[in-house]
């Protein structure tokens, strides 16, 4: 009786202990899982690839994108999402389902993309319904994990979204009595003991899924009797605290399934995405067996690193599933024949590390992360992976080439940075903040500020070419500027006698010649004529937020700005004077369909006339064709392009910023220590820009700059600056472009009155300032008075 009573007491105490322990365990596990959800697999994504009838598959580097996204080449008609078949120059592509930045979804769909041998698309249609499609989208690529998920990646899913084949594979190979034991499986322990003793080594384990979950979730990875005892106790408590389905779901989301570089892959959904580029609901029976086969030894059975071992292990799992009746013979044979294919690693690669760091800074600075769900965030950006890889290569190769040519540059170590933008939208498509992120994480695109040198000069010329931006009058490309020695008494610094880079003077030069050859003296004279304070205003309008001192040296770039700011300025010029703020964020989504954050649209407004911007662009084309940027042509870039070199004082910084109608890039080269490089922009930065553009626009169709309605072209006799017509000298005739209303109207055969419309070139030269009409005069300033007196 006493023994019976003691047993009852012991049972009650045990029940109370288990009950209290289960409450404690449930609280502990729930808290731990909640904390992990805050650092789950949030990712930074590239821009999706839009394909329409105007696209060119070669220019898009279409097959490269398919490879990185893990699309598999099928021998026959694609049957599942993620497969494609190439027939000649056309493709059958089974698109995957994915969410866009605005939360809308593109469904799975088999499409046919018909293209010619040059890659130009002729038609896109839904293959099954034979319906023409205006466009399709390839899903974005993972650029990087975000925030605290840099060393742990997981994408939790509910059990109802897990395919039955995966659950069955897991039961077959890891814990076939999972739904009948209480956290510990005595039969499995005994069986493992017998097998291991007969083998003389550890070949089989007896741990249940619950024990494995405890080991992964709650305990350190050590071998000791204490840890095994705690594992058993905790397993029983978890079984008491949670249902079998809850335990299974936790296991499926928490189990460690290998490394991708320095990133630990946790959970089957994350593993399915990492290895196969698929959500867990879309994996096949063979892929389910492959993933469950990894559990035993994630490093040894990684399908990416050890495909032969992974294949062997997969087939063992399939055999066990067959023997237990989870699959039939036909399913087994079909799965055995399935080829094991994986996608390239994405989570661990550093395709754009400086950009990702900037994203992290901006996300934490701009958004209240408490108002945005942190679980499974997808940060949709504008970055293009192909353009980024071109930029990475251009910077790396360019710096290496310079250091080889000039060994003195290796110490302290030359640096370079490149940012690329789509001018029409302001979208940033490439961002390289330095030559080696592993050695130096300082981002020279956004964090470094350097003098731009002559890169500032187009701001002066735009001010002169746009009558609304200056208080003097509208300049022409044929306006004469003086290139002669000048001496300026600068308040606070004394007498300043600027020089051209080559220390030479040319007398009278046209506006086009002055900018194309980056002449300092004519630019200074021009800025003083139109008003330095007006140049300052134009600089601010174009996107420079730094203070700009209204001093005569400003046109030579005597202010410090970042490459990001320079890209904004030149993007506005390239976009026909329309300011569109640079942007990188398309939207933020999460695993919850209702959670979508859309950024404010970029600031867009006109700051200069399209006519003046086009005329300036036309002059900047001369920079590349025959001016300081002519190395662009020598290095083989043939597309219509405009650009400007920049070399700061004492050759400390070398710059080049240039653009085609669709793409702009700005490049900086120099030392972090601000030491002299002895390099010019045309020598150091322009070749890097050229390599990038040749790569980014490979196989694309060249596009011309389209003149707006408010510009006109006229044949000009450069000897007089007047209209050329038959009877005029043919020695010096050019076709010039003008803002409508400013073009010469007088023939070179006629006499020009001093007060006429066509004498304005002399006005910019400064010979006859009194001929300026009163309505065009600006109020006198000390500098304008000084210059007017100088030229009289």
Give the sign of the dihedral formed by CA 259, CA 264, CA 268, CA 270: negative
Mark whether 165 is an active-site residue: no
d(CA 514, CA 777): 24
d(CA 263, CA 275): 13
Three-class SS of residue 635?
coil
Burial 629-664 (b: 16+ CB within 10 A, else e): bbbbeeeebebebbbbbbbbeebbbbbbbbbbbebb
d(CA 339, CA 709): 60
SS3 annotation, 176-230: CCCCCCCCCCHHHHHHHHHHHHHHCCCCCCCCCHHHHHHHHHCCCCCCCHHHHHH
Residue 29 · residue 241 · CB < 8 Å: yes
d(CA 592, CA 95): 22
Exactly one of 112, 139, 141, 174 is catalytic; which is it? 174
Pairing mode, strands 72-73 and 83-87: parallel
Mark whether 174 is an active-site residue: yes
Residue 162 · residue 251 · CB < 8 Å: no
Distances in Å between the Cα of 277 and the Cα atoms of 47, 312, 413, 786 are 17, 22, 39, 69
Q: Which residue has the tokens 């970042």?
A: 562
- Which residues, other chains included, contact 16 with Cβ-Cβ below 8 Å and sequence gap of 6+? none
Exactly one of 154, 207, 288, 454 is catalytic; which is it? 454
Helix axes 457-465, 610-626, angle to 10 degrees: 140
d(CA 320, CA 326): 9
Residue 603 · residue 581 · CB < 8 Å: yes
Burial of 387 (0-12, 13-18, 19+ CB in 10 A): buried
d(CA 464, CA 530): 6
d(CA 650, CA 614): 32
Backbone angles phi, psi at 347, to 5 degrees: -70, -30
d(CA 510, CA 483): 10
Give the containing element (helix H, strand E) for 94: strand 90-95
Number of residues written out for the chain: 792
Helix axes 285-294, 307-323, angle to 10 degrees: 110
d(CA 30, CA 129): 48
Residue 275 · residue 343 · CB < 8 Å: yes
Residues tagged active-site: 174, 454
């Amino acid at each position: 009786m006493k023994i019976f009573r003691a047993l009852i007491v012991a049972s009650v105490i045990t029940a109370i202990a288990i009950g209290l322990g289960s409450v404690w365990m449930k609280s502990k596990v729930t808290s731990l899982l909640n904390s992990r959800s805050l650092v789950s697999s949030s990712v930074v994504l590239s821009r999706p690839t839009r394909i329409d009838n105007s696209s060119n598959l070669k220019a898009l580097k279409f097959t490269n994108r398919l490879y990185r996204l893990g699309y598999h080449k099928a021998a026959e008609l694609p049957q599942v999402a993620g497969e494609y078949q190439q027939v000649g120059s056309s493709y059958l592509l089974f698109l995957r389902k994915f969410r866009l930045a605005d939360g809308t979804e593109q469904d799975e769909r088999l499409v046919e993309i018909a293209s010619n041998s040059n890659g130009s698309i002729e038609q896109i249609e839904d293959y099954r319904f034979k319906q023409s499609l205006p466009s399709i989208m390839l899903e974005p690529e993972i650029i990087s994990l975000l925030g605290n998920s840099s060393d742990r990646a997981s994408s939790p899913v509910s059990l109802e979204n897990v395919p039955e084949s995966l659950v069955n594979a897991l039961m077959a190979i890891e814990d076939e009595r999972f739904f009948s034991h209480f956290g510990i499986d005595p039969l499995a322990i005994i069986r493992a003991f017998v097998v291991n003793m007969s083998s003389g080594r550890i070949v089989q384990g007896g741990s249940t899924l619950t024990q494995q979950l405890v080991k992964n979730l709650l305990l350190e990875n050590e071998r000791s009797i204490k840890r095994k005892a705690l594992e058993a106790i905790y397993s029983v408590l978890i079984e008491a605290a949670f249902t079998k389905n809850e335990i299974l779901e936790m296991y499926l989301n928490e189990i460690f399934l290998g490394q991708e570089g320095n990133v630990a892959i946790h959970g089957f959904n994350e593993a399915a995405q990492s290895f196969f580029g698929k959500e867990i609901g879309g994996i096949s029976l063979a892929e389910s067996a492959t993933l469950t086969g990894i559990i035993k030894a994630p490093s040894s059975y990684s399908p990416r690193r050890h495909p032969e071992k992974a294949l062997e292990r997969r087939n063992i799992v399939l055999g066990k599933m067959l023997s237990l009746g989870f699959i039939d013979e036909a399913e087994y044979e079909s799965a055995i024949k399935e080829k094991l294919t994986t996608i390239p690693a994405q989570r661990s690669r550093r395709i754009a590390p400086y950009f990702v760091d900037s994203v992290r800074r901006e996300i934490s600075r701009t958004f209240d992360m408490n108002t945005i769900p942190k679980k499974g965030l997808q940060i949709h950006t504008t970055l293009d992976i192909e353009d980024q890889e071109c930029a990475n290569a251009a910077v790396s190769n360019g710096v290496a080439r310079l250091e080889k040519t000039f060994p003195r540059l290796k110490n302290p170590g030359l640096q370079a940075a490149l940012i690329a933008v789509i001018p029409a939208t302001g979208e940033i498509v490439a961002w390289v903040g330095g030559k080696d992120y592993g050695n130096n994480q300082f981002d020279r695109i956004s964090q470094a500020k350097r003098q731009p040198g002559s890169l500032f000069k187009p701001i002066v010329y735009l001010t002169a070419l746009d009558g609304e931006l200056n208080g003097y009058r509208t300049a022409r490309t044929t306006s004469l500027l003086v290139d002669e020695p000048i001496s300026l008494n600068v308040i606070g610094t004394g007498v300043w006698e600027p020089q051209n880079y080559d220390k030479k003077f040319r007398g009278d030069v046209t506006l086009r010649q002055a900018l194309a050859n980056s002449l300092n003296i004519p630019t200074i004279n021009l800025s003083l004529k139109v008003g330095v304070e007006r140049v300052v205003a134009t600089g601010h309008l174009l996107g420079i937020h730094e203070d700009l001192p209204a001093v005569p040296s400003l046109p030579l770039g005597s202010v410090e700005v970042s490459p990001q700011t320079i890209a904004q300025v030149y993007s506005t010029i390239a976009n026909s004077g329309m300011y569109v703020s640079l942007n990188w964020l398309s939207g933020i989504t999460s695993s919850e369909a209702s959670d979508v954050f859309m950024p404010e649209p970029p600031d867009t407004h006109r700051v200069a006339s399209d006519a003046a911007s086009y005329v300036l662009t036309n002059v900047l084309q001369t920079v590349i064709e025959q001016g300081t940027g002519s190395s662009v042509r020598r290095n083989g870039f043939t597309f219509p392009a405009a650009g400007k070199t920049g070399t700061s004082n004492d050759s400390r910084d070398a710059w080049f910023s240039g653009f085609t109608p669709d793409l702009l890039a700005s490049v900086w080269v120099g030392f972090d220590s601000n030491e002299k490089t002895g390099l010019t922009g045309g020598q150091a930065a322009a070749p890097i820009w050229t390599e990038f553009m040749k790569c980014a626009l490979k196989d694309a169709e060249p596009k011309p700059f389209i003149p707006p309605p408010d510009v006109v072209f006229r044949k000009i006799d450069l000897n007089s600056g007047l209209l050329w017509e038959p009877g005029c000298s043919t020695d010096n005739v050019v076709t010039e472009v003008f803002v409508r209303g400013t073009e010469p109207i007088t023939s070179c055969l006629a006499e020009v009155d001093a007060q006429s419309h066509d004498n304005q070139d002399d006005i910019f030269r400064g010979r006859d300032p009194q001929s300026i009409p009163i309505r065009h005069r600006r109020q006198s300033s000390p500098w304008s008075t000084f210059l007017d007196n100088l030229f009289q």
